[in-house]
Amino acid sequence: MSIRTERVAALLKSDLGEILQQEYQYDAMLTITNVRVSPDLMQAHVYLSIFSTAGDQSEVFDFIQEKTPEIRKKLAARIRHQVRRIPEIHFHLDDTAEYVEKIDSLFRKINQQKSGKKGDSGQSGGESGQ
């Protein structure tokens, strides 16, 4: 990414974060984890992490997607003097935390299996010597 796209992405991340936290909480904690802006600055892919008290992320995500035009207008009011055109916003669920947890659990399983095999090989070696 060029310096300009990085600056626009950082601007969008901070302003969208404030907009979402102030007006679109919807019984959930919303966090913008990443913003990727196209080289022409016309598309912005916003990755959301949703921690819902009800436990249903899809309902919160659908609500945010439904409100995307309204959110874009509020964003335009904030950044209209800093960019020529307001990028189209595409929200995506960020499943990084779930992915990290899944990989971590796989590593734990592998470690448990290794420690179990070490214990088994030590016991079987002792029994064959008797």
- 67-99 pLDDT per residue, tens: 999 999 999 999 999 999 999 999 999 877 777
Answer whether residue 129 shows pLDDT above 50: no
Domain ranges, ordered by start, for the chain: 3-94, 96-130
What pLDDT is attached to residue 119?
62
Band of pLDDT at residue 117, cut at 50, 70 and 90 = confident
Query: Of 96, 14, 9, whose CA–CA distance to 49 is shortest?
Result: 96
Reported in sequence order, the residue ranges of 38-107 that DSSP labels E, i.e. its strands, are 43-52, 88-93
What is the CATH topology of the domain spanning 3-94?
GMP Synthetase; Chain A, domain 3 (3.30.300)
Which residue matches tokens 């912005």? 44
Average pLDDT, stretch 14-38? 90
Distance in angstroms (rounded) separating the CA atoms of residues 86 and 111: 49
Distance in angstroms (rounded) separating the CA atoms of residues 87 and 65: 15
Identity of the residue numbered 34:
N
